Structure 1
Amino acid sequence: MRPVDTGPPVIRTLYAGLVALLAALLVGSSVPQARAAAPPDHVSANAPTAAQQWPGNTPNRTGGKDYFIDATRGRDSAAGTSRATAWRTLAKANATTFQPGDRILLKAGEQWQDQQLWPKGSGSAGRPITISAYGEPSAGRPYIATNGKVPSPFNADGTKNPATVGLTGAVVLRNQQFWEINNVELSNDDDFATDITTGSYVRDGIMVSINADLLKSGEDSVMDHFRISDVYVHNLDGPSHWQKIHYGAVDFQVFGSKGYKAYGTGGYHFKDVRIENNTFENVELHAVQFAFNWFAADGADAGQYDENGKWHEGWEQLWVRTRDLYSRDVYIGHNYAQSIGQGAIQLADTKNMTVEYNEVNGYLKRYDAVSCALYLWAGADSVMQYNEVYGGPNNEYDGTPWDLEYTNFNVTYQFNYSHDNAAGWMAYMGNSSNSVARYNLSVNDNGVLVKNMLSTNYSPTYFTNNTFVYDGADLDYVHDETFLSRVYFLNNIFYNTSKTTETPWYRRTGALRQAVFSHNDYYEASGHHSTQEPADPRGSRADPRFVGDPADYVTGAGVRQIRKAAAHFALREDSPLIDAGRYNPHLGTEDFLGTHLYYGRAPDIGIAEARVGPQVTDPVDDDPVEEETDNRVDLALGRPVTASSTHPGANGTLTADKLTDGDLTTRWAAADDAAYPITLDVDFGANTAFDEVYLDEYTDSGTNPRVRSFELQRWDAGAGRWVTFASRDTGIGHDLTVTGFGSVTTSRLRVALTGQIATEQYTPTMTEIAVYRTGA
């Protein structure tokens, strides 16, 4: 494909170009510690326009004092309260406890090498403390180059040090609130040539932390109101392997050295945070990292069972939800991130979050493990929209632009544009509820479109009205693992540009077992369709007839013009996909271009709704796709089950009745000391005829199929004994349907598990036994 590069979204002013040229002519190799190059064109360079001025050139309207710092002409012995009496070093500010409404103003064009800014004190509602710039409008942002001169957050034994953890930024705030930071430039170790290989170093641009161990009894554990804007953070080196502490250009974290159960509930979080209009370049690990809580969360004691008896490892952080430790009311928007070491915008433990209009240009550039470009982990009630991601790695595991991560509740990805990401489109983990990905555009994300799924979900996931344009010869798969819970694909376009290779849909038998495809369009440029293509009785195989040539997709327009890229893939008026979709409440209320849903007889297929036909102002789902599952009568549904062994854990929820409840998210498990054969007896209550038995084992990220052999037996009331009518020694796994034994009539069915897979340590766990009469 030939992307159409429309050029940078913002043209740098002639003035800035002349300044850069002059600087290049004047700066020689003998000048030490030269400042970094100006930020990319995606944001303002070093200075505001003359009309804007620096914020510090305008009056303080919050009722506090202004404090000035001038690295060249200031004096720490001076009062600091005027330009003429400015302080010289950041140490003077670090030794000062500021009051609500105060401003700390750094002189534009000045540099503070080998220094860190950690002012003390907190603001109050309506009277935040501000860090900003003053001085000549034509001068560059004030520049703090900390150069790695920060304390180690670890003790000698590798544990976190409560005295120093969180003090690793060029700018630091700890257990402080009501702060605003803007119009500064930051770096913290630009020596990428020297690899940091020990766990003693962590670097941040801005580090805002809650240290639970240092809060005194009765102190507020909720830190309120932060504004970070118009900040340029660059050249922030760090270790290229996992440190058990996240770090990045802007980093919000909660720390505690004890297990999370040692702390209270309903606290230890941030609220009312806005991170916007910033530029991040060449930073580790992240551009923005939010509220990952490390309360000894990685040990066995940190795990817990959920209400369905599912075990969550501590790192899955279900405890953030059950103890109400979510940060909340967070906005992250209009940021540009380039050449990020790991995941660019890595968010966690937050609810009521909006993440929009962020652009990520290259991620996972240096880190030696897995991550994704922009995603929320263990969050709730949040939306990611109008973001653009490109330049991702070719990664076998995650590596995708987006990620429907573990332990998310009501998280939506919509109106996002990703292109040219070699690992694929969306990672998908499980253990979540009401995950929705709708009206997203993916072009040349030629890895795995929907990647992973390592655990079951609490409720179905919806992929609706997305447009996928890919090269089938380069694509790995649409899905690489096995969907473990119900997933709905509605009104999507799967557009394969390859003229030689059909779409590779999956690599594992039964991968799409829980996927329902309805009203999707499957276009193959070759004219040949894969035998793996899913059944979709009301789907289409037509050319969508996009407005633009799919080969000439839009790049370089910038995230502010993201709808320009989307409009390229709108439908022409003669498209057969207009009015060819299906309404479902999970479609939302508008398309990628902001058009109301919907017009005409039905919604359109793809990311853009055409204004053809009358507007349907109040859509009603009168044909629920959720009712299109297997409508056969399960003769075992709700029938009592007796197990020869039941695991006592998970608060007593791993009982045999879960095998006939019709819910694949619940399960039975045998005790650790169970002896084979392990028997599961279903009592029909009366003689029942059937010719098909369905069995399903439970798996997740740490649980494999365990059954090697089993027998199906009927109860012979006349003889008073069990009689085997079918057996297998090839395992159960997922979605095993046993047939070929003719018609059996009995009042009781026994599933006898007779052998375990040799490589498995633990006893079996299953989700379902179903019985059908097909009449075959």
Structure 2
Amino acid sequence: MKNLLGFGLLGTLLGSNGDASAVRRPDGCADVPSNIYYVDSRAGDDSKVGTSPASAWKSLEKVNARTFLPGERILLKSSSMWNGQLWPKGSGVEGRPITVGMYGGGVKPVINGEGLFEDAVLLKNQEYWEIADLEITNTGPQRAERRGVHVALENYGEAHHIYIRSLTIHDVNGVDDVKPNGGINYTSVGAKKPSRFVDLRIENNEIYRVDRSGIFGWADSWVRSKWNPSLEVRLRGNHLHDIGGDGIVVVATDGAIVERNVVGHANQRSDGYNVAIWAWSADNTVIQHNEAYGTKGQRDGEGFDSDWNSRNTVIQYNYSHDNDGGFLLICNEGGHKPAESAGNTGTVVRYNISQNDRTRGINIAGPVKESLIYNNTIYVGPDHSVDLLLFSDWHGWSEGTSFYNNIFYVAGTARFSYGVSRASDGAYVTAHGFGESKDNLFDANDYYGVEVAASDSHALTVDPKLIAPGQGTDGILSLTGYRLQAASPARKNGKPIEKSGEQDLWGHAVPSCGATDRGAFQSDDCK
């Protein structure tokens, strides 16, 4: 307490002014000023104290040399530009994070790593930080492992309250053979001390022209024998476009929420297997209210994915369109021991819309178990030919997949099929049928323009009378054409689903008036 009080008094004597706010210490002993430090690349001076705009520091080196205290703020001057790395030291405490932001205008200050640093902005073994309102780039003359932002843990234990918000990250020319490099990456390794994040938020960032990944998490605790998942991970409101490989990926998490993101044109430059939005080695992930479009290629190329070593993933209320590899991948690589992988069990896919996704609608690959796929609307336009549902072998076949209340609206050509073989570019040779998959259940689906799947005792084969199918553009708000007309035969006769999520894509209650509709729209009148 004595040293901190001394620092507060010194800061006051040296120039802390009305910009510094008095904050109660966590121990309740005294009010201590929380200094604000200003940095101005043009008019700053590192010989000054930095605690007012008139006495701002000039360089990132000055910022990086200081160990900041809980509650302190670092403000970078609007429109300032720095070449180098931002790595401020220190940690906050609960209720008093250290924050990085901007002042003096509306143009974000720029951090340009110039390819000279692996990470343009870095936090390592730190917690209680909030970073916002920066523009970040990191391009070198040749490709190398690079990132815009890296939040890293190494034998640290639990790191709390890391918030990365409202950044613009672009032009990071990382390498293709390392997934956790590119835009924003959070990583944890803990051979000596297991490490993980608790309360990690990555929100409202714009990321473009980065390689390989947009937002990617990595942890050595993904393996089940060392399972130590990060908790309270929230990835929301981010806009990504022109991404070399994967868009948004959560790894080694429990209860992560990935919502209201837009990922356009992922997998643009990678030779690997990439998806716009997905979870791997993650339990109880909720992926909702997102849009994914324009993912390139068939390795894998889908909009969404529930991947192996994951349990109870929920993919709901999303919009997928124009992805080369299709709407959805649910997969599990067979052959792993339980100490390594929990397989893929209990995936739920509901109230999503797929419009003109290419080549495949839903691909269920490997020994996936107990997936439940219901009340989705999948539209195939007149110019497209699609394996609407594709079962494939990945050291085993799926078991116990259920399909209820879906609308398969095919104006082009589609079929239910299985993979006979797969080419190096990810394309399948397919044949009619379900291959060696087992215990598939179909009930109360509408098959318009495609043959009925076997044993669907309450199937419809008529036009579901959507208001204007195929007219979706950009954004979930463009999907009103997928609502059911008043005279739709798909109203009020769907299969009741327990624990159905209680609402449809538009927020209407499910069931409504004691009945369930087919497709992603639930009518809310009782006529």
TM-score, scaled relative to structure 2:
0.86
Measured after TM superposition, the shift of residue 375 of structure 1 is 0.8
Residue in 2 that maps onto 1:683: none
Measured after TM superposition, the shift of residue 398 of structure 1 is 1.5
* Counterpart check, 1:361 vs 2:245: no
The residue correspondences of 1:283-294 to structure 2 (distance < 5 A) are: 283-290=210-217, 292-294=218-220
Q: Secondary structure at the match of 1:486?
A: coil
Residue in 1 that maps onto 2:463: 543
Q: Structure 1 249/520 Cα, relative in aligned 2: closer, same or farther at 3 Å? A: same
* Counterpart check, 1:401 vs 2:335: no
Q: Secondary structure at the match of 1:565?
A: helix
Counterpart Cα distance in 2 of 1:58 and 1:579: 61
Measured after TM superposition, the shift of residue 470 of structure 1 is 1.1
Residue in 1 that maps onto 2:207: 280
Which of 52, 63, 67 is matched with 1:97 structurally? 67
Q: Is the 8 A contact 1:567 1:608 kept in 2?
A: no
Q: Secondary structure at the match of 2:479?
A: helix
Counterpart Cα distance in 1 of 2:391 and 2:113: 44
Which of 279, 284, 295 is matched with 1:376 structurally? 279
- The residue identity in structure 1 corresponding to 2:489 is P
Residue in 2 that maps onto 1:124: 93
Which of 171, 180, 186 is matched with 1:252 structurally? 186
Q: Structure 1 143/575 Cα, relative in aligned 2: closer, same or farther at 3 Å? A: same
**Equivalent pairs: percent with the same residue?**
31
Q: Is the 8 A contact 1:71 1:89 kept in 2?
A: yes
Measured after TM superposition, the shift of residue 611 of structure 1 is 1.6
Which of 48, 58, 61 is matched with 1:88 structurally? 58
Which of 271, 292, 312 is matched with 2:198 structurally? 271
Counterpart Cα distance in 2 of 1:439 and 1:231: 31
Residue in 1 that maps onto 2:160: 224
Q: Structure 1 502/143 Cα, relative in aligned 2: closer, same or farther at 3 Å? A: closer
Q: Is the 8 A contact 1:567 1:593 kept in 2?
A: no
Which structure carries more strand by proportion? 2
The residue correspondences of 1:48-59 to structure 2 (distance < 5 A) are: none
Counterpart Cα distance in 2 of 1:422 and 1:474: 12
- The residue identity in structure 2 corresponding to 1:412 is V
Measured after TM superposition, the shift of residue 371 of structure 1 is 1.3
Counterpart Cα distance in 1 of 2:416 and 2:286: 30
Residue in 2 that maps onto 1:641: none
Measured after TM superposition, the shift of residue 504 of structure 1 is 4.7
Q: Structure 1 455/170 Cα, relative in aligned 2: closer, same or farther at 3 Å? A: same
Residue in 1 that maps onto 2:485: 572
Counterpart Cα distance in 2 of 1:518 and 1:613: 24
Counterpart Cα distance in 1 of 2:152 and 2:99: 17
Measured after TM superposition, the shift of residue 84 of structure 1 is 1.4
Q: Is the 8 A contact 2:20 2:35 kept in 1?
A: no
* Counterpart check, 1:487 vs 2:413: no
Q: Is the 8 A contact 2:387 2:415 kept in 1?
A: no
| Alignment length (residue pairs) | 475
Cα deviation 1:691-738 (Å, max 9, x = unaligned): xxxxxxxxxxxxxxxxxxxxxxxxxxxxxxxxxxxxxxxxxxxxxxxx
- The residue identity in structure 2 corresponding to 1:204 is R
Which of 350, 354, 369 is matched with 1:442 structurally? 354
Which of 38, 45, 54 is matched with 1:75 structurally? 45
Q: Secondary structure at the match of 1:170?
A: strand
**Bigger-Rg structure (1/2):** 1
Q: Secondary structure at the match of 1:171?
A: strand
Q: Structure 1 510/419 Cα, relative in aligned 2: closer, same or farther at 3 Å? A: closer
Cα deviation 1:194-252 (Å, max 9, x = unaligned): 552xxxx311111100012xx5xxxxx1000011111100111112x313x61121111
Counterpart Cα distance in 2 of 1:392 and 1:510: 26
Residue in 1 that maps onto 2:146: 203
Q: Is the 8 A contact 1:464 1:587 kept in 2?
A: no
* Counterpart check, 1:521 vs 2:464: no
Measured after TM superposition, the shift of residue 330 of structure 1 is 1.5
Cα deviation 1:486-545 (Å, max 9, x = unaligned): 1000000111112xx453534355435431111000001xxxx44x74331111101010
Unmatched tracts of structure 2, length 5 or more: 1-16, 24-32, 333-342, 419-429
Measured after TM superposition, the shift of residue 77 of structure 1 is 1.4
Counterpart Cα distance in 2 of 1:494 and 1:584: 19
Counterpart Cα distance in 1 of 2:172 and 2:487: 52
* Counterpart check, 1:534 vs 2:454: yes
* Counterpart check, 1:242 vs 2:177: yes
Unmatched tracts of structure 1, length 5 or more: 1-55, 151-167, 216-220, 257-261, 296-316, 615-776
Q: Structure 1 602/376 Cα, relative in aligned 2: closer, same or farther at 3 Å? A: same
Q: Give the alignment's Cα RMSD to 1 decimal.
A: 2.1
Q: Is the 8 A contact 1:352 1:380 kept in 2?
A: yes
Residue in 2 that maps onto 1:423: 325
TM-score, scaled relative to structure 1:
0.59
Measured after TM superposition, the shift of residue 485 of structure 1 is 1.1
Residue in 2 that maps onto 1:184: 134
The residue correspondences of 1:696-735 to structure 2 (distance < 5 A) are: none
Measured after TM superposition, the shift of residue 434 of structure 1 is 1.5
Residue in 2 that maps onto 1:146: 113
Counterpart Cα distance in 2 of 1:111 and 1:235: 16
